[in-house]
Amino acid sequence: MSKTILVISAHSDDEVLGCGGVIARHVAEGDNVHLLFMTDGVASRLESGDGKNRLTYAQDVSKILKVDSFTNLNFPDNQMDSIPLLGIVKEVENKITELQPEIIYTHHIGDLNIDHQITHKAVITACRPQPDFCVKEIYAFEVLSSTEWQTPGVESFNPNVFVDITDYIDIKKQVLEVYSEEMRQPPHSRSIDNALRLNALRGNSVGVDYAEAFELIRMSR
């Protein structure tokens, strides 16, 4: 029986870095996958200098991954701390009510990036356990150049769920290349080469070629 999956990320490209392979696997297994981006990507566009927004690339990525939908909430890029949390939570609640997802993937609370932190807080607040609530599983993913760059001792990422994406690593590489404007050249942490090495490390640690790693935040059955 197919499930409805909602991936909630602060920026378009985070979804691919954090769980691009898992998205492809869910789609291949017949699940309905939806992407929710919190910010407008304006800061990224200004940095890239090509006049394109990350959301322009997100359209191409969504087609490649064959997701059912993607939505952008247009909060200010790298300035989500300027918005009252309640307003962000209500937008997330509205999308959950609309889609009724069983599984949510989102950012880790300990990420260095402030938008990632606020996205996590908004998701957890929107997913307060209620009778007959649709969301049964919540997972936090890691994003290179944010998760591993936080101050030591501040909510470190401790993965306890590893998903085999060996059959989908070529798709992940393809969509990472779509976001090439957001990637950096080696030896930067946020390079495509390093992203694939991380997936190899996560996979080899559980006996497969490639995997994506998550912290299980909540599961109810």
Closest CA to 8 of 78, 103, 112, 114: 103
Read out DSSP for 54-68?
HHHHHHHHHHHHT-S
Task: Give the tens place of pLDDT for each residue, 95-111.
Answer: 999 999 999 999 999 99
Domain covering 4-219 in this structure, CATH number: 3.40.50.10320
Q: How much is the pTM?
A: 0.94
Task: Give the tens place of pLDDT for each residue, 124-180.
Answer: 999 999 999 999 999 999 999 999 998 887 889 999 999 999 999 999 999 999 999
Report domain extents, the chain.
Answer: 4-219
Between the alpha carbon of residue 186 and those of residues 17, 112, 191, 193, 194, the distances in Å are 16, 21, 6, 7, 7
Taken in order 23, 25, 28, 31, the sign of the CA dihedral is: negative
